[in-house]
């Protein structure tokens, strides 16, 4: 069983994911941190070409329009979700 890391806002903001998110999408950063701090955040991993390039998107289950990240491979999306403690549904 994979256990969720015990994130505090301070430790979460030091992760490579949070630093990259803040750089790439500063307007949505506070929302992303709020979602990432949820105890049982559920995410969906989908393949998309919405931005014009094929990528794998990690979306919040309760807010599918919100992307937690977009990466080039499904394996990278799964790995990120596991590292962050997000449950893939």
Q: Give pLDDT tens digits for 26-51.
A: 999 999 999 999 988 999 999 999 88
Alpha-carbon distance 43 to 60, whole Å? 5
Other beta carbons within 10 Å of 16: 9
Domain ranges of the chain: 9-88
What pLDDT score does 1 carry?
45
Note if the pTM is more than 0.75. Answer: yes
What pLDDT score does 57 carry?
97
Low-confidence ranges of the chain (pLDDT < 50): 1-2
Mention every residue, 6+ apart, whose C-beta is less than 8 A from residue 71. 55, 56, 58, 77, 80
């Amino acid at each position: 069983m994979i256990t969720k890391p015990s994130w505090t806002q301070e430790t979460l903001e030091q992760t490579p994911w949070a630093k990259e998110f803040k750089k790439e999408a500063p307007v949505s950063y506070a929302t992303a941190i709020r979602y990432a701090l949820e105890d049982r955040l559920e995410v969906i991993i989908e393949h998309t070409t919405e931005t014009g390039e094929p990528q794998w998107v990690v979306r919040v289950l309760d807010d599918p329009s919100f992307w937690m990240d977009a990466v080039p491979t499904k394996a990278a999306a799964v790995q990120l979700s596991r590292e962050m403690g997000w449950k893939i549904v």
